[in-house]
Amino acid sequence: MSFKKGIFIDTSITSEISKYHQMGFIRGVTTNPTIMAKDGLKGGYEEIKNRTKEISDLVMPYPVSVELLTNEVSQMFDQAKDLAQINKNIVIKVTIHGPNGELDNLKLIKELEENKIPVNATAMMNSQQSLIAAMSGASYVSIFCGRVNNMGYDSREEVKKTRILLDKFNLKANIIACSLREVINVTDWFISGADIVTIPPEFFESLIIHPYSKETIKMFLSDSFKLMN
């Protein structure tokens, strides 16, 4: 649905999510174990579930992506089902393959989607991986565009190619561009064809506040004062 496209906030800190969600432009939340660890979350699996419930309640009906905490094939499906039961707007993050290139994750993506559990296929670096994940049924495909740029490639081209391929095969997946490095990435990735861009909270002020806007607003207020006095 189009209202679930746009800017997603990339954090697990509820106060930050609430602050920007109240401004009206947030369309979803993404988290992963690295974000949660950086944000200082402690307490193990149950605390992860509790925080996920808080976040998903806060932004309902917008989607909240939460990542599996294991790549053990025997545990992944049950953990995904358990996390998905937290709230109806939960999306399960599944990496495109295992840490050593294991291919079981694609089967899991297919099985979860067949069981009406939406999947965000993640940790992808190119359009080939995105196409495969989308063909396996993933509702979202996350390209780590910042890392693509770090490797010396142009992430905009990977997003463009992914857009063309998903449209060509009429696949349902939404393209998520993530791993933001510079504010200019946001509009570049949207223009290149991304449905969603994930943004850490520390980038929002730079997106919104411009020095010349500040100068202009000060001029307006100064002139308003002159008119009123």
State what percent of residues in the chain have pLDDT above 90.
97
* 147: pLDDT strictly greater than 80: yes
Catalytic residue among 42, 53, 93, 214: 93
57-107 pLDDT, tens digit per residue, is 999 999 999 999 999 999 999 999 999 999 999 999 999 999 999 999 999
Q: How many domains does the chain have?
A: 1
Report the alpha-carbon distance of residue 122 to residue 99 in Å, rounded: 13
pLDDT at 4: 77
CATH of the domain at 64: 3.20.20.70
Mean pLDDT of 129-140: 98
Report whether 196 contacts 177 (CB < 8 A): yes
Confidence of residue 3 (pLDDT cuts 50, 70, 90): low
Q: What is the mean pLDDT of residues 8-24?
A: 97
Residue 142 structural domain: 2-228
What's the pLDDT score for residue 28? 98
171 has a pLDDT exceeding 50: yes
Catalytic annotation present for 5: no
Model confidence at 172, in pLDDT bands (50, 70, 90)? very high
Q: Helix or strand or coil: residue 163? A: helix
**CA–CA distances in Å: residue 134 to residues 87, 158, 160:** 24, 15, 15
Mean residue pLDDT across the chain: 96
